[in-house]
Amino acid sequence: MDNYQQQLDHAFSALADPTRRAIMARLAQGEASVGQLAQPFAMALPSLMKHIRVLETGGLVETEKRGRVRTCRLKPAGMQSVETWLAAQRAIWDARLDRLEAYAMALEQTTAKKAVRRATSRRSVSTGKRRAKP
């Protein structure tokens, strides 16, 4: 479990930065060299390489050096820990929202019943008749 938590922490840390998310979006289209990844950003290659290393540490990207060119690609299995965690959180929140909805419906029905009783009570008082107890 500790390894899972650590992997999850690294993945979320990697995804926390907009530059790294942009790199991930570009790599979703296919593999690219570091030079190609650097083009849309106003940063030096060493700075971009730091971002790529963070993505590698998060298990989201893998790189391979071919001659003088370092190529990057997504590592789809790297998102598995994030997907698993998000699915568990979604299930928890769906259950909470279902309970909240049920409570709100019950509260609404109770409020409606009280309003009917009050209206009936007011009518019986204004006509001078006593209302029979249920």
Asked if 24 and 74 touch (Cβ cutoff 8 Å), the reply is: yes
Asked if 20 and 14 touch (Cβ cutoff 8 Å), the reply is: yes
What's the predicted TM-score (pTM) here?
0.70
Phi and psi at 65, nearest 5°, equal -100, 125
Q: Each residue of 61-118: pLDDT tens digit?
A: 999 999 999 999 999 888 888 999 999 999 999 999 999 999 999 999 888 888 888 8
Comparing CA positions, the residue from 64, 66, 62, 85 lying closest to residue 6 is: 85
Q: In whole angstroms, give the CA distance from residue 28 to residue 26.
A: 5
Token pair, residue 54, equals 């963070």
Q: In whole angstroms, give the CA distance from residue 133 to residue 54.
A: 72
Asked if 46 and 35 touch (Cβ cutoff 8 Å), the reply is: no
Residues linked to residue 61 through DSSP beta bridges, in sequence order: 74
* Contact residues for 73 (Cβ-Cβ < 8 A; gap 6+): 27, 30, 31, 61, 62, 63, 64
Q: What is the domain partition of the chain in residue ranges?
A: 2-74
Q: Each residue of 27-60: pLDDT tens digit?
A: 999 999 999 999 999 889 999 999 999 999 999 9
Angle at 57 between CA 56 and CA 62, to 5 degrees: 20
Amino acid symbol at 31 = E
Q: What is the CATH number of domain 2-74?
A: 1.10.10.10
Is residue 120 left, alpha or beta, with left meaning phi > 0 and alpha meaning psi from -120 to 50? alpha
